[in-house]
Structure 1
Amino acid sequence: MLRQRRAATPLVSMELLARQPVVVGIFLIFMATALMVAVFFLGSFYFQQHLGYNPILTGLLFLPVAIATMAGANAAGRLVAKLGLRALGATGLLVGAAGLALAGLLLSPVAAVIGVAIAAAGTGVLFVVASATALGSVAPEEAGVASGVVSTFHEFGASAGAAVMSSVAAVSLTGGTTSGFTAALVVAAGAAVVAAVITTIITPRTTT
């Protein structure tokens, strides 16, 4: 960051990174990816290690997650003009929180599939809102850099999500108890609620 400030022709403009819509987009893509990784990471361990399901069955159980993600993204595209990015971003996070809480508090194969599918619908919304928020406020010549920054924080979110969830769920990842899975999913749900509040506060009113 210091190097970019001093460079004659910086790769990434610090002014671009400081723009509020770009910051909101970065935050949302970070949270969306962290929550999505939480779903796949914890779900894979729960289905395969704890329940003993084979990889094929586990993959089939995650099929609703893929469908729900696409459905959420499609719905976001249709609702963005009506609700606005602020409300839609907060809604996506709250839907994700509801799904994660359902999966964690009522932990069972059925609850896990339904809960993570609901959460995936919320993250599908977030992917659309994050991109629209970050890229909708930049000039055409800045779009490539802004998109690259958003993609970078997509990877950061995945790393952070896996690190935090593995730490919270450690007791279940190494043993036969489900308490770690429940704790991790509830923590993820709580983080999504907090993120929804932050999103409501930091998203510009003029962003549509």
Structure 2
Amino acid sequence: MAQACARAGRPASEVNLLPVSKTFPEPVLREAAALGLHRFAENRPQELRDKSALMADLPLQWVLIGQLQTNKVKDVVRHACEVQSLDRLALAQALDARLQKEGLSMSVLIQVKTSDEPSKAGLLPEDLPDFMRALQGMSSLQVKGLMTLAVLSDDEQAVRACFRKLRECRDRLQQSGFETVSRLSMGMSGDFEIAIEEGATEVRVGSALFGGR
């Protein structure tokens, strides 16, 4: 990460590491916490809920990065500090309603589709401005930035283009008055260096930290 920052002429302090702990058991996460990692990302709401309960004795933060169905919102609101996969209005409404009921607020990142892969979820870049305006009345949701999954490809330029597109989306939103949308969660074990070179403020790394699943 530091080397990628140096190549991009960025301070290493500009980029955070988000360990992706999905499928790894509690002892592995406790070892990671002992080494100083205290913020973990999970794909599945149920796994996030269960690990949060098992490790409640530690001051950990849990982030949901996988797809969230509206019927799972309750667990996520109670156990996660952030959702990085907000991709539709119905989910935003469900999150806001549950947060209001619990007297809570939550930071969220909007997932943006930056490739043509059918398997990739996310809001289309051209729909972002209208989506942001729709969220303005939801006071419990604090939109902090954008998230994406790059195309799965050996073509570095294709991967780089996905990350560049997300940065451009963020820049356009800020120019339109949405200054709080500053974070860019992009890059995983196989492409985090490219993501950093293209402006990532957070990389989501699992297997490069914990080993193969």
TM-score by length of 1: 0.25
Higher strand share: 2
Which one scores higher on RCO, CA 8 angstroms, separation ≥ 6? Answer: 1
**Structure 2 length as normaliser, TM-score?**
0.24
Higher helix share: 1
Instruction: Give the number of the structure whose alpha-carbon radius of gyration is greater.
Output: 1
